[in-house]
Amino acid sequence: MKGSSTKVVALIAGIIVAISFYFVLLGQRGIDLIRDGGAVPVVLGIAVLVLPVLGVWMVYSTVRSGFQHQHLVTRAREEGCDLDVSGLPTMPSGRVDRDAADALFVEVKAEWEADPDNWRSSYRLARAYDYAGDRSRARETMKRAVALEAVDRER
C-alpha cells in the first residue's frame, strides 16, 4: 500500500512539474506579446497571462482538496468509520454494482440525516454518493465534511 501511494505522489509531482513548465512558457509568450506593443498584441498578451494564473489556482485548489480528502480518509479509517464495500457485488470494471451502491446510499443517507453536523456522517455520505455515481453531490458533500472536520479538529 505504501509503495503504490508513493507512485501516485510521484506521478502527481511529475504532472505538476510538466504543467508548471507549460505555465512558464505560456507566461513568456504573453509577455512577448505585450512587449510587441500595439493594441491587439497587448490585449492578447494580457489574456494569455491570465491563463497561467488560472491554471496555477486550479492546480493548487485541486491538490489542496486532494490532501484534505486524504486526511479525512486516513482519519475515518483510524476511527473505523470508513465505508466497507468489500462485501458488495462488483461489476467487471471493479466498481460497486449500481443496485448495491444505491442500497448503500439509502442506508448511509439515513445515518447522515440522524447526525448531519458530524463530519464522519458527511464523509460517509460523500463516499456513498460517489459509489452511486453522483460525483457532483459527492464533491459538495466532501467539502462539507472537510469543513466540519476542521471545526472538530479546532475544538
Residues forming a β-bridge with 96: 90
Please list, residue by residue across 99-119, b when 16 or more beta carbons sit within 10 angstroms of its beta carbon and e when fewer do.
ebbeebbeebbebbeeeeebb
Instruction: Specify the pLDDT at position 136.
Output: 95
pLDDT in tens, 127-148: 999 999 899 999 999 999 999 9
The grid coordinates listed for 66 are: 486532494
Pick from 41, 43, 47, 40: nearest CA to 26 = 47
Specify the DSSP class assigned to residue 92. Answer: T
* Distance from C-alpha of 30 to C-alpha of 32, rounded to nearest angstrom: 5
Place of cell 468509520: 81
| pTM tops 0.75 | yes
* Distance from C-alpha of 33 to C-alpha of 42, rounded to nearest angstrom: 6
Instruction: Specify the pLDDT at position 131.
Output: 92
Instruction: Specify the pLDDT at position 94.
Output: 86
pLDDT in tens, 79-118: 998 888 888 899 998 889 989 999 999 999 999 999 999 9
pLDDT interval class at 155 (50, 70, 90) = confident
How high does pLDDT run on average in the chain?
A: 91
Specify the DSSP class assigned to residue 87. Answer: T
Res 1 pLDDT > 60 = no
pLDDT in tens, 8-61: 889 999 999 999 999 999 999 999 999 988 899 999 999 999 999 999 999 999
Instruction: Specify the pLDDT at position 2.
Output: 58
